[in-house]
Amino acid sequence: MGKQITEMLKGTLEGIVLAILATAPAYGYEITARLRDQGFTDIAEGTVYALLVRIEKRGLVDVTKVPSEQGPPRKVYSLNAEGHVQLDEFWETWGFLATRIAQLQHTAAPRQEGH
């Protein structure tokens, strides 16, 4: 994995973050923590933050500032109607991509079964 998963994640991270936000509103660190729990251990918090800034600019999330016990207030992101539309599109695209890649995997002669 390593480098390759980082490259592959680049295109899908937005959809993954939208999917996480669809289950419950969250602030930056919570999202990173959930990604790490799910095995994306190399994910940088700053990358997730930059992505949240982008989806906020594109109007896919609503943002509220919640005071925190330590440090500055936290920005809590929740998916809005636009975001849900974007997420539906992501799943559709993902389904297409996953099906095509699986087809390629099965039609390509598996090396380990060679003679």
Least separation in angstroms between CB 114 and other proteins: 36
Q: Please tell me the distance from the alpha carbon of residue 55 to that of residue 68, in angstroms, as a whole number.
A: 23
Least separation in angstroms between CB 46 and other proteins: 4
Residue (59 or 95) nearer to other proteins, CB: 59
Least separation in angstroms between CB 47 and other proteins: 5
Q: Please tell me the distance from the alpha carbon of residue 87 to that of residue 63, in angstroms, as a whole number.
A: 17
Residue (46 or 95) nearer to other proteins, CB: 46
Residues that bind other proteins (CB under 8 A): 28-29, 32, 42-47, 49-51, 53-54, 57, 68, 70-72, 74-75
Q: Please tell me the distance from the alpha carbon of residue 98 to that of residue 53, in angstroms, as a whole number.
A: 28
